Structure 1
């Protein structure tokens, strides 16, 4: 059996770019939401003429969905804001005919108004509803799986202690209201709470590097005492946490319908 030091060193050196999670195979598990996002994305892409994927990571999810789609959009584009992921996304998606543009959270999308009839995202950093509505054509759709409130907070709070204010973020009903306020009709809003199990301290170190917003000041050295305590537990039983997700499907309201609503 590998020592604590060996497991931590391997996890600290492992690649965390992109949205692949192969490092966790055999080290951790997570239930998937029941709606099957990749399959739904593939179906939506099959009926789209121009599609945009936001915060695409390394392009893994979009590439898988394009492979499953019965028909690919005439125009496909994606955005990513983190340079290492941007490089990976271009390597993966350019051969599939996907235009990949740099766009970070809070920045305007580098596309003209009404450019797309489908905008998608799996785990967007911070949805900019006004920009999403702007680049959608009237009648166009938004389909995304978002991270929900207090996701994996059992693990977050193990390191940081209680986070009552942070637990209130990413509320699905609040996000739906924000979407409506930007001119979108919310057609579907589904939520799920999924069990996560960590079996190996390397999995914990790696996921905290992969998702640095969970424990922003994390380094193995800074949290060595906590990691050693958790390692002792993991050698006899898993650490259990829960991820939260919501699926949101929305349609951009057309000008005529918006005028009609304003007149009521």
Structure 2
């Protein structure tokens, strides 16, 4: 048993409730911070939103980001596949005129053909063919994705195997896939910014919010490894890993 009151305090603190897709509990307090990208997803999509009459936001989470991208066109829809997020998104977005759809899989979207001038997608899976189906003939698709090597330093520090299911998921693969499915890529970028955790509680809170990083994660199963990271933070000031992000802007061919 590890006898460290500060460590135990942080482990207990990480049990704070998490909802939607809001990391403000650890970001606004400066307990977790991410490096800068050379692009801004919001700055890219806002001008596009102003030029269209219909749009779809895929994987809206709790609607946190979409609600900040106003003013909206006449028709705005959003999808969300994680059930606990759906009522949060509806409460936030429907007063703004956004129709929120709960979905199961991203390769089956509940919309007719050619109904959206713009489809935006931040950190959500997608089917190129399904996105193309719901876009108009000159429609635009913009996505920022989390690459397959994202934060693998966490897995390495906790001595957990890396999920190989997504190891192929990078800019080259996604760009080729879009081109093979009827898109012309207009913009493509890929970067590996750092992400820092300034206390072990912030890392635990983050892991609770992203269960795919370490499936079935329970802090009690990794107390020795977590304590080693805690000790590293005491000496260095932070625990740092590399993120993996890429951006694609494409148009229907």
Please tell me the TM-score bracket, short chain as reference. over 0.9
Structure 2 counterparts to residues 201-220 of structure 1, below 5 A: 201-220=200-219
- Cα distance in 2 for residues equivalent to 1:96 and 1:110: 21
Whether the 8 Å CA contact 1:160–1:215 is kept in 2: the answer is no
SS class of match (2:226): helix
Pair 1:200-2:202 in alignment: no
SS class of match (1:41): helix
Gaps of 5+ in 1: 254-264
- Structure 1 partner of 2:21: 19
Whether the 8 Å CA contact 1:159–1:215 is kept in 2: the answer is no
Structure 1 residues 32, 106: CA separation in 2 closer, same or farther (over 3 Å shift)? same
1:160 CA drift (Å): 3.7
Could you list the per-position Cα deviations for residues 178-222 of structure 1 after superposition, in whole angstroms to 9, with x for gaps in the alignment? 112221111111112111111101011011111000011211111
- Cα distance in 1 for residues equivalent to 2:120 and 2:158: 33
SS class of match (1:236): helix
Gaps of 5+ in 2: none
- Structure 2 partner of 1:62: 66
SS class of match (1:218): coil
Could you list the per-position Cα deviations for residues 143-184 of structure 1 after superposition, in whole angstroms to 9, with x for gaps in the alignment? 111112301111122224453845733111111111122211
- Structure 1 partner of 2:183: 184
- Structure 2 partner of 1:38: 42
- Structure 2 partner of 1:72: 72
Could you list the per-position Cα deviations for residues 68-122 of structure 1 after superposition, in whole angstroms to 9, with x for gaps in the alignment? xxx4211000000111111111111111110100113345100001010100011
TM-score (norm 2): 0.92
TM-score (norm 1): 0.88
- Structure 1 partner of 2:91: 91
1:44 CA drift (Å): 1.4
